[in-house]
Amino acid sequence: MNSHYSAPGDGVALDTFDGVHVAKASAATTGGAYELFEVDVRPGPLVPLHTSPWGTTAYVLEGTITFVSATEQHTLTPGASITITPGTPYTWNAAAPGARILAFTTGDGAGSFFADIARLPRDRTMDETMSAMADIAHRHGVSVGTSPKSAIG
């Protein structure tokens, strides 16, 4: 196949607690080179800084995203983008009522990570959910660091 068409509304929707990632181009359709997600990001508290083995470029379509790394903070509005290299500790959050972004990730790891998170039962206790998420993160090479509040202090 030389092309992959994804119509509006097409794609597998993966609810990852902080938002819904819709796979518009999976690793299978790009030969493993990258993945493309349309993400509806829910507002909420910043999660701890975390790193992943894939790079990410996020482009804001609607709403406002606050990006935080160990050394910088940016507010992204529609039309803004940010590129995060693999292994960079970061987090982000959407301002109310939420945001919609396009997220390009390198390689084939992000989609399988999001799919594993989306399969977690929603009726577990917070401790059970966090333990399961930690196991999933470890399997996919994602690590969790320190609180972003202490990082930008």
Taking only the tens place, the pLDDT of each residue in 8-47 is 888 989 988 888 999 999 999 999 999 999 999 999 877 7
How many residues does the structure list for the chain?
153
Q: Which domain holds residue 63?
A: 12-141
The domain tally of the chain equals: 1
72 inside domain: yes
95 inside domain: yes
pLDDT at 4: 87
Q: Which residues pair with 105 in a beta bridge?
A: 35, 56
**Selection from 31, 49, 69, 43 nearest residue 137 by Cα:** 49
1 inside domain: no
153 inside domain: no
On the question of pLDDT at 151 being above 70, the answer is no
Q: Which CATH number belongs to the domain containing residue 44 in this structure?
A: 2.60.120.10
Assign residue 59 a region (left: φ > 0; alpha: ψ between -120 and 50; beta: otherwise).
beta
What's the token pair of residue 127?
A: 């401790």
pLDDT at 42: 92
pLDDT tens track for 78-116:
999 999 999 999 999 999 999 999 999 999 999 999 999
Separation of alpha carbons 150 and 69, rounded Å = 11
Average pLDDT value for residue range 46-63 = 92
